[in-house]
């Protein structure tokens, strides 16, 4: 059994003739063992029972790397995936083995070419496209509400179980300004609130991390960076800064519909 190759995070999108650029799919990372009819998570846990419908393919023997994704409003939607896993498809972006032969040492472009041909005609497995312009792709996907992009070095080999700078993820973070309702030091979190209809409503907890010295001294406004708001909680959230220049009344729920861009 393999473990998937992992990407290193980069600060900003870029262009380079040495890289290709792919969409960053918002779902569950998975390896699909076609001969065994087995789907495993990035840590090796079996996901087969949850996504059994994806194992009904006509691919003889291969190990495919990809992301389990559900779509809503034309983009990947993690909440939909968790609620209705039977709607998931596998967006395939790499190939580790085919016909019993390990292909991890082949160049990236060769693996993708074999993969594209291998999955052609499969209704529940899509091919993750790649592009040459990273900055434009990132801007377009961010505006459309996607998670970001992954830059992959041309000619690179696949390194199972390793985090490598040959793959760079650039995440389209969102930011909002919110009111600190409560600091819960024993849990290492802060409960945040936003105004909706003139009332201050709790919207979720955020880890304090190095901001653990934040104290409740009356209404405080903080900027929070996150990937997604599920309606109940923030995903991958962290504090950015305190906002002494901003009134709590300016922290409205509308920000979750149109969050401002990170600065």
Catalytic residues: 24
Residue indicated by tokens 């990809």: 66
According to DSSP, the residues that pair with 72 across neighbouring strands are 75
**Of residues 65, 13, 67, 60, the one with CA closest to residue 36:** 60
Residues in the chain: 263
Kindly state the tokens that stand for 253. Answer: 């729920």
Start-to-end CA distance of the chain, whole Å, equals: 42
Kindly state the tokens that stand for 234. Answer: 């923030």
How far is CA 3 from each of CA 12, 30, 188, 204, 246, rounded to the nearest angstrom? Answer: 27, 9, 32, 33, 46
Under DSSP, is residue 52 helix (H, G, I), strand (E, B) or coil?
helix
According to DSSP, the residues that pair with 4 across neighbouring strands are none
């Amino acid at each position: 059994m393999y473990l998937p190759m992992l990407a290193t995070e980069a600060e900003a999108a870029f262009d380079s003739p040495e890289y290709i650029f792919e969409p960053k799919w918002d779902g569950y990372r998975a390896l699909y063992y076609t001969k065994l009819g087995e789907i495993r998570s990035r840590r090796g846990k079996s996901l087969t029972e949850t996504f059994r419908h994806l194992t009904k393919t006509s691919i003889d023997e291969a190990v495919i790397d990809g992301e389990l994704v559900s779509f809503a409003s034309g983009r990947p939607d993690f909440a939909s995936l968790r609620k209705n896993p039977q709607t998931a498809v596998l967006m395939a972006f790499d190939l580790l083995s085919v016909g019993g032969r390990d292909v991890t040492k082949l160049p990236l472009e060769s693996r993708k070419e074999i993969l594209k041909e291998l999955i052609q005609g499969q209704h529940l497995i899509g091919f993750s496209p790649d592009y040459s312009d990273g900055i434009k792709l990132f801007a377009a996907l961010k505006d459309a509400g996607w998670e970001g992009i992954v830059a992959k070095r041309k000619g690179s080999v696949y390194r199972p179980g390793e985090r490598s700078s040959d793959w760079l993820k650039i995440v389209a973070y969102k930011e909002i300004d919110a009111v600190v309702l409560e600091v819960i030091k024993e849990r290492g979190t802060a409960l945040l609130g936003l105004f909706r209809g003139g009332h201050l409503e709790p919207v979720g907890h955020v880890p304090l991390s190095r901001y653990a010295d934040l104290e409740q001294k009356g209404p405080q406004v903080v900027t929070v960076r996150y990937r997604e708001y599920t309606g109940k909680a923030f995903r991958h959230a962290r504090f950015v800064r305190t906002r002494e220049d901003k009134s709590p009344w300016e922290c409205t729920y509308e920000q979750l519909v149109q969050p401002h861009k990170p600065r």
